[in-house]
Chain A
Amino acid sequence: MRARDKKYSQLVAMAAVIKASLKGIIRSPSTVVFSLVFPLIFILVFGFISGGSFTLTIAVNPASLDSNNMVYQIVSKSPGVKIVSYTNLDKLNKDLTTGKVDAWMKIGTSKGRQKFDIKLITSTASPEEGRIIRSLVDGIADKASLASANVNEPAFDVSQDEVKGRKYRKIDFILPGQLGFSLLSTGVFATAFVFFNLRQTLVLKRYFATPIKRIYIILGESIARLIFNTIGSLIIILIGYYAFDFTLLHGAITVINLLILSALALIVFMGFGFVISGIAKQDSTIPPLANIITLPQFLLAGTFFPISNFPSWLQPISNVLPLTYLNSAMRKVAFDGANLIDVAPQIGVLLLWGVLVYGLSIKTFRWE
């Protein structure tokens, strides 16, 4: 029985398109670079900028401070305090005004060594550190005063317990952001170029002479890209987890939820790509159009910095962008252990954008 005498299967045809498309994607170096290498590099760089824990740097000058002084001893041994000794007062002053040291501590005596005057000189260059140093020294000096007045049981006693918490590291903020952004740029750029090129190089035209229906061509290409990028997302998440301690609160379930979010978002972002491939008349108009869609989100969707850091007039713009909601949903899922129902509002916004964009792409998509 010849193939033409059997019922034609669109799914078999679509499967062939998926296979061919996947091979093409994997063999294209630019796709691999943009989907995997760039995000990982960004995660590496931004995840580890500003390492180093919080330190209070206090300058002292031997001429104005006796290192045997009890208060000084306790302050200098306090955790997080770093003491720097200066003999050159001009340099000391300069470092104070530029924030290289947070404060200058002098301890003088009066009333024949019965009373100690502790003087702190802080700078507007490090106002928070100055405040912290002040309270640290205040506390130590008050305790010392009480002790020397023989008050052995002060009326107010302070004790401290520490609970085990999840440290929210930079990687926990950065990885979802970079992952989200790589999905956006792949979805937009790759889809736009693929269809543009298939149309230009008349590959599509040859497909039309076969019995495959047009919708199955699009589905085939899209499914291939979805498969590739979901695997890519998995790789990024696993590298983040094993190499950089990225928090996956509920382990495998979290990973699955993240992958579902990735796939959903990618589908929405591909819609933008379809619109562009329909509008662009030439190869060269695709990058500017794609950049209009991706760059603002790169900067404003909470990819690198929390939106709360932005001035208030920018925030409404951030709160409209689809990437913002993807990033926020992924962070909630990974770090807070939220499940998909918990992030339903974010998913809702993404889906709304999807409806908008696919509606538009149906109108603008061209087959030749």
Chain B
Amino acid sequence: MKFAGMAMEDIIVVEDLVKKYGDFTAVNGISFTVKAGEIFGLLGPNGAGKTSTLEIIETLRTKTSGKVWVQGFDIDRQAIEIKKRIGVQLQSSGYYPNLNLVELIKLFNGLYNENVDPMELLQKVDLVDKAKNKVKQLSGGQKQRFSIATTLINKPDIIFLDEPTTGLDPQARRNLWELINQIRSTGTTIVITTHYMDEAEYLCDRVAIIEQGKIIALASPTQLIENLIATGFERPKQLQLASLEDVFLNLTGYELRDK
């Protein structure tokens, strides 16, 4: 069931989304679309409303008003169809205690009525040697990789990542970026929230900047930068040819230290 006038390539359509918590309006009339196969970023400071927006689209939170369609399914009436087709990585999520990674994958298999081979999945995220470990024994980067693995179990058309690299060291961050790119190359649409600008610049095809519940800009990173320069903006400091992060990675290497 498709909304009349919606382009075939719009996999998510958000229209006038509003979310209030009591008197506080977290999301104040947001509208945007996400195109199939792109990596779409939601940027903004903490408290800007991006997590609320994301959770509403993920069917995890009810909205106050507005309309949302995911793959043509109306979130008000066909939420279950949406749940079947999306993968969700939560900012801070726990996993069932006392189970190891393989057992958790089997649990999600059941929850999605799927039959994915746990070892194959773990191989995609380079966690095969941690198969018998529990989540709490993993490093930060490994936990995020496992989280992303669980989003892939139902072979989703869209996955949602909420601040996936927060708290990771430079090697782990870059490694995760590569994983995300790999996933996109299989045709999966990715919606990501972040407050790391370099991440948004590196990964996203288009970016929406959210502030106080409203979108204040929406375009590709390049376009946004060009727009800014066109207003006469000039960076105060002279552009360096390298950054401190380059120094760090150059000295300590790009390989993962996943112990």
Chain B, interface size category, equals 20 to 34
Give Cα distance in the complex from A210 to B114, angstroms.
12
B248 within 8 A of A: no
**B154:A3 contact, CB within 8 angstroms:** yes
B132 within 8 A of A: no
**A3:B103 contact, CB within 8 angstroms:** no
Q: Which of A24, A201, A207 contacts B111 (CB 8 A)?
A: A207
Give Cα distance in the complex from A23 to B81, angstroms.
30
Q: Which of B92, B95, B111 contacts A16 (CB 8 A)?
A: B111
A19 within 8 A of B: yes
* Inter-chain contact total with CB atoms closer than 8 Å: 97
Residues of B within 8 Å of A198, CB to CB, are 94
Give Cα distance in the complex from A99 to B177, angstroms.
85
Give Cα distance in the complex from A209 to B150, angstroms.
12
Given A3-B84, A9-B113, A209-B60, A27–B98 Cβ distance below 8 Å? yes
Q: Which of A20, A21, A197, A202 contacts B92 (CB 8 A)?
A: A202
**A15:B110 contact, CB within 8 angstroms:** yes
Given A17-B107, A203-B95, A8–B88 Cβ distance below 8 Å? no
Q: Which of A4, A24, A210 contacts B108 (CB 8 A)?
A: A210
Chain A, interface size category, equals 20 to 34
**A202:B90 contact, CB within 8 angstroms:** yes
**A20:B96 contact, CB within 8 angstroms:** yes
Residues of B within 8 Å of A13, CB to CB, are 110-113
A206 within 8 A of B: yes
> How far is the CB of A220 from the nearest CB of chain B, in Å?
9
Residue-wise interface mask of B (77-102) relative to A, using a CB-CB cutoff of 8 A (1 in contact, 0 not) = 00011011110101011111111000
> How far is the CB of A203 from the nearest CB of chain B, in Å?
5
Residues of B within 8 Å of A9, CB to CB, are 113
Residue-wise interface mask of B (127-153) relative to A, using a CB-CB cutoff of 8 A (1 in contact, 0 not) = 000000000000000000000001000
B59 within 8 A of A: yes
B155 within 8 A of A: yes
Given A3-B154, A16-B111, A210–B83 Cβ distance below 8 Å? yes
B58 within 8 A of A: yes
Q: Considering the complex, which residues of chain A in the window 37-53 have a beta carbon less than 8 Å from any beta carbon of chain B?
A: none
Give Cα distance in the complex from A80 to B182, angstroms.
88
> How far is the CB of A120 from the nearest CB of chain B, in Å?
68
Residues of B within 8 Å of A2, CB to CB, are 155
> How far is the CB of B158 from the nearest CB of chain A, in Å?
12
**B80:A205 contact, CB within 8 angstroms:** no
Give Cα distance in the complex from A15 to B98, angstroms.
18
Give Cα distance in the complex from A211 to B111, angstroms.
7
A12 within 8 A of B: yes
Of chain B, the residue at the smallest CB distance from A200 is B94
Of chain B, the residue at the smallest CB distance from A207 is B111
Residues of A within 8 Å of B60, CB to CB, are 205, 208-209
**A206:B90 contact, CB within 8 angstroms:** yes
> How far is the CB of B71 from the nearest CB of chain A, in Å?
10
A238 within 8 A of B: no
Q: Which of B90, B103, B109, B113 contacts A23 (CB 8 A)?
A: B103
B106 within 8 A of A: yes
A residues bordering B, Cβ < 8 Å? 2-4, 6, 8-9, 12-13, 15-17, 19-21, 23-24, 27-28, 197-198, 200-203, 205-212
Closest 6 CB pairs of A and B: A16-B110, A201-B94, A209-B88, A4-B84, A210-B111, A27-B98
New A-B pairs, 15, CB < 8 Å, besides A28-B98, A205-B60: A8-B80, A8-B84, A9-B113, A17-B111, A20-B107, A23-B103, A24-B96, A201-B97, A202-B92, A202-B94, A205-B90, A205-B93, A206-B150, A208-B60, A211-B111
Interface CB pairs A-B, < 8 A, 20: A3-B114, A3-B155, A12-B113, A13-B112, A15-B110, A16-B106, A16-B107, A16-B109, A16-B110, A16-B111, A17-B110, A19-B107, A24-B98, A24-B99, A27-B98, A28-B98, A207-B111, A210-B83, A211-B83, A212-B111
